[in-house]
Amino acid sequence: MGIEALVIQDFRNYAQAAVELPRRVTALVGRNAQGKTNLLEALYVAATLQSFRSSRAEDLVRTGAEGFFVRAVLSSPAGPRVATVQGAAGRLAAALDGRRLRGAGELRSLVPAVVFSPEDLILAGSGSEPRRRYLDRLVALTQRASHADDLRRVRRIAEQRNRLLRARSADALEAWDQQLAVTYARIAGRRKQAAATVAARLPGAYEGLGGPGAAGCAYRPAFGAEPEADPAAAQEQILKALAERRSEEVRAGVSLVVPQRDEVVLDLDRRPVPHQASRGEARLLALALRGVELELTRAATGEPPLLLLDDVLSELDGIRVRRVLDFIRGGDQVVLTALETAALGELGVGATVYRVEDGRLGPGGGR
Ligand SMILES: Nc1ncnc2c1ncn2[C@@H]1O[C@H](COP(=O)(O)OP(=O)(O)OP(=O)(O)O)[C@@H](O)[C@H]1O
Ligand SMILES: [Mg+2]
């Protein structure tokens, strides 16, 4: 399954555009700020109901327009299927063959998509938030609905607790602690497992990209202990940490023992990454994390993924580019952006080329 064609309206800097993706590789070529990444983003939205750049649906709506519309024709063995996504007033609504979709699960399993983008550098940055989201995404590949539900639930619990903490009503907290422990224990168990999978695969992916050194990944939950495998024991660990840090939480006026404060740490040869890795090492590590996501996506869905490569060719030297391209397998559909047609030489495969200029697409000639 892949995307055969895409029509977009009032999406980012596009008033209206249509693109066909007849071949395995499509290249979007153009100068800076013309709409190359925006088109990749539209493809990603059609496949996942999410942007890889912004969590706010309103960012996707063209300035001055009321809402955007994306229509993708998906190829499938049983014939083409049509996915549509509309975004207005900060909300998204999606349909598959005219049937309203409630979540992204069905689309994601039809068109598993993985993006490699310069923004991925943030995965190797000092904040754990992008790495938590990355782990949660890996969890969602194998346990579709329940993890997202638990994350929503725990956000609501944290909000309630924070309200009580701000109001200094610590006595009422206990009612929430039990619920927090139950949900958090499930989340921590899944994150721990996902981190272990990453830890097992990351060194190989990093080495495969020519990265010097051994890359490591570890999950450090906010309750300060390695989560027990038994859910009841993990809940005990959480309740214990909540009791120990109660006065600290009251002083801070905010929940401290919640999954939103879990850390996911990366290291290179046991040196902490955000503080001690070079920019080049950090970039390779981020690429390696996406490489792991790609392997796991393949394994989870059994479908060749849609690979969206944003600026990957221009950000890396020739050897690294070839190594990134080694990630790509025969059946994968690839859509990439590049500043120059010349950069496509590295691909060594026939690609449909579009020239992108000021939110419009023109033929760029095939290669
Ligand atoms: N909601 C929006 N409405 C209108 N224009 C937008 C919107 N969001 C982004 N843009 C504009 O779209 C233009 C193209 O952005 P895009 O990120 O696709 O560029 P690009 O071709 O990938 O460039 P680069 O090579 O620099 O990465 C930018 O000028 C940006 O300001
Ligand atoms: Mg771009």
Atom number in ligand 1 closest to CA 28: 21
Nearest CA to ligand 1 atom 28: 33
CATH (domain of 200): 1.20.1050.90
User: Measuring CA to CA, which residue among 31, 63, 188, 205 is closest to residue 123?
Assistant: 205
Which atom of ligand 1 lies at the shortest distance from residue 40's CA? 18
The pLDDT tens digits for 71-108 are 999 988 888 999 999 999 989 999 999 999 988 888 88
178 C-alpha to ligand 2 centroid (Å): 46
Query: C-alpha 172: how far from its chain's center?
Result: 37
pLDDT of residue 347: 67
In a domain, 330, yes or no: yes
Does residue 270 lie within any of the structural domains?
yes
Q: Which of 8-12, 165-169, 283-287, 329-333 comes out lowest in average pLDDT?
A: 329-333
For 176, the domain range is 123-301
Q: Assess whether 158 and 89 both reside in one domain.
A: no
Find the ligand nearest to 33 CA.
1
Question: What number does the ligand 1 atom closest to the CA of 60 have?
Answer: 1
Residue 2, ligand 1, Cβ within 6 A:
no
pTM of the model as a whole: 0.89
From ligand 1's centre to the CA of 60, what distance in Å? 10
Which of residues 246, 266, 301 is at a domain's end?
A: 301
Q: Give, using CA atoms, the residue closest to atom 29 of ligand 1.
A: 33
Domain check: are 280 and 307 in the same one?
no
Quick one: how far is CA 335 from the chain centroid? 17
Residue 32 in contact with ligand 1 by CB distance below 6 A: yes
Write down the pLDDT at residue 143.
72
Q: Which of 301, 317, 335 is the last residue of a domain?
A: 301
Verify that 342 and 226 share a domain, yes or no. Answer: no
| Structural domain count of the chain | 2
Give 314's contacts (C-beta < 8 A, 6+ positions apart): 338, 339, 340, 343
Distance of CA 146 to the CA centre of its chain: 18
- Residues 62 and 163 placed together within one structural domain of the fold: no
Same-domain pairing of 159 and 270? yes
Of 301, 329, 356, the last residue of a domain is 301
The answer to which of 156-170, 222-236, 323-337 has the lowest mean pLDDT is 323-337
Q: Which residues lie below 8 Å from residue 157, measured CB to CB, with a gap of 6+?
A: 176, 179, 180, 183, 258
Q: Indicate whether 16 pLDDT > 60.
A: yes
